[in-house]
Structure 1
Amino acid sequence: MTTPPFPTPTAAEIDVVSSQLGRAARGVIGIAARCVCGNPTVVATAPRLDDGTPFPTFYYLTHPAATAAMSTLEATQVMPELARMLEEDDDVAAAYGRAHEAYLADRAQFGEVPEIDGISAGGMPTRVKCLHALAGHALAAGPGVNPVGDAALERSSWSPERCACVDPGAALADRAS
């Protein structure tokens, strides 16, 4: 299980995340998971953005190839299959509940936000709602923490173990300077 805090992201890392998102990154407090080339894959986001907006998605998937793979899974109806896994396997359901609690504990280290109290992401602890959020949590926390996020990653065409970045050297070159 990942326990924040993460190192403060550099300006170059925020630039990479902004490029990945196609908009200015907001509330990034750390890089929670990286591509094998070093580019950000998942960011940790403040539970309250600078403008005061509550933001429950602590682990936010930013890598374009990873987000595309999760979108493809959602479009191909994998979510009902993963939801059945929760309904039919008590061990998976219990692990998913623990993943929800771990997510909340990680986020709580960066402040309590009453508007999102008890809300994690992706439908946890009882539903499968957003594979992007669940895969982001699985990547940040590591294998074995979020069983649905792990299953989504296993079923996807993307792998955190091979680079699919548009310019894999960009972040590394920027970070080295």
Structure 2
Amino acid sequence: MTTPPYETPTAAEIDVVSSQLGRAARGVVGIAARCVCGNPTVVATAPRLDDGTPFPTFYYLTHPAATAAMSTLEATQVMPELTALLDEDDDVAAAYQAAHRSYLADRARYGDVPEIDGISAGGMPTRVKCLHALAGHALAAGPGVNPIGDAALARSSWSPDRCVCAQPGAAQGTSTAG
């Protein structure tokens, strides 16, 4: 786990992220989490893209297997269950509020964008809207920071501890792991 400010990504890292996304990566200011093999898993994205578009999703999940796992979870209707947890458990709700504040503080290090002031991602701080964003935050911030992102990762078929980058359909890249 690393915390902002992130080092500027290399051209090779941007190429891997672009391959993972199937399009040119935009606004990447750093690699926020990596696969155990060293490939990017989550990028940190500028709060304002080069074309001037405000972009609230600071932590963007890029790893193909991770994004597929979050899509599968979303299709199983787990989001209403996780949203209900926020209503039922004051500790989880408080931790989710803290995750929202943490997310905003991380993004603020890369600029102030009035159009997205107070807006984080994934439905924070009161609901669960996008498991991709919440898992991305959980992977970047580390366990215990985003309880809903942690829960999504725990329920998914993908694990950040197991590399699947070389499997068919997964992006290939240069490992930076030693």
Q: Tell whether the structures are fold-level matches, with TM greater than 0.5.
A: yes
User: Which structure: greater helix fraction?
Assistant: 1
What are the equivalent positions in structure 2 for 1:161-172 lying under 5 Å apart?
161-166=161-166, 170-172=173-175
How do residues 23-172 of structure 1 correspond to structure 2 at under 5 angstroms? 23-166=23-166, 170-172=173-175
Identity of aligned residues (%): 85
* Structure 1 unaligned blocks of 5 or more: none
Per the normalisation by structure 1, the TM-score is: 0.95
Moved over 4 A (4+): none
Once residues 2 and 89 of structure 2 are traced to their aligned partners in structure 1, the CA distance between those partners, rounded to angstroms, is: 25
Q: Is the 8 A contact 2:16 2:172 kept in 1?
A: no
Letter in 1 for 2:57: T
Distance 2:29 2:104 in 1: 16
Contact 1:37–1:169 (Cα < 8 Å) also in 2: no
Question: 1:166 deviation in Å?
Answer: 3.4
Q: CA RMSD in A?
A: 1.5
Mapped to 1, the partners of 2:172 and 2:2 lie a distance apart of 26
Residues 2 and 127 (structure 1 numbering): CA distance in 2 closer, same or farther, change over 3 Å?
farther
Deviations 1:123-170 (A, max 9, x none): 000000000000000000000000000000000000000001137873
In the alignment, the residues of structure 2 paired with residue 66 and residue 164 of structure 1 have an alpha-carbon distance, to the nearest angstrom, of 10
Q: Distance in 1 between matches of 2:18 and 2:134?
A: 21
Unmatched 5+ residue regions in structure 2? none
**Residue 171 of structure 1 aligns to a residue in which SS?**
coil
- After alignment, is 151-160 or 79-88 more displaced? 79-88
Q: Displacement, 1:3?
A: 3.1
Q: Deviations over 1:93-148 (max 9, x none)?
A: 00000000000000000000000000000000000000000000000000000000
Distance 1:67 1:169, change over 3 A: closer
Change (3 A) 1:98 1:54: same
After TM superposition, the score normalised by the length of structure 2 is 0.94
Determine the C-alpha separation between the residues in 1 that align with 2:38 and 2:108: 27
Query: How far is the alpha carbon of 1:2 from its aligned partner?
Result: 5.4
Paired residues of 2:3 and 2:32 also in contact (CA < 8 A):
no
How many residues are matched? Answer: 174
